[in-house]
Amino acid sequence: MTTSENGRKLIESFESCSLTAYLDQGGIPTLGWGHTLGVKMGDTCTQAQADAWLEEDLATAEGAVNRLIQADALDQNRFDALVSFTYNLGQGSLAESTVRKRLNLEPPDYSGAASSILWWNKANGETDPGLVRRRQAEQKLFLTPTENPAG
């Protein structure tokens, strides 16, 4: 699966785009749409580079969700919510999360997975209001059934 336009807009709404490196809530140098790989304070980029990194980072997050989540019944909204979660936290966090464990049960525990999304709201050991809002938005999307375009 790949991220829908709706999922991409969710990620962009929380990441925003900075063409100058800044320290994120966790103190990690960040540039573009939340890109961290190889970024140092003082770095800058163009909008085109920020957009290219967004595509690369989205592909990494999509690959992690596709690889780590065994649930066959992931609809588009669940997938998009998990990509946003992974884009923000990294594939290692998804791999170790209760979200993943609950989705990979047979049958998948979707309600439990949705509840577990909310647990990931801390930066430097403190509850972060921005992460609370993001996790709530991801949970809401995860719990919203994808509409069937055929009716």
Active site residues: 15, 24
What secondary structure, in 3-state letters, does the chain show? CCCCHHHHHHHHHHHCCEEEEEECCCCCEEEECCECCCCCCCCECCHHHHHHHHHHHHHHHHHHHHHHCCCCCCCHHHHHHHHHHHHHHCHHHHHHCHHHHHHCCCCCCHHHHHHHHCCCCEECCEECHHHHHHHHHHHHHHHCCCCCCCC
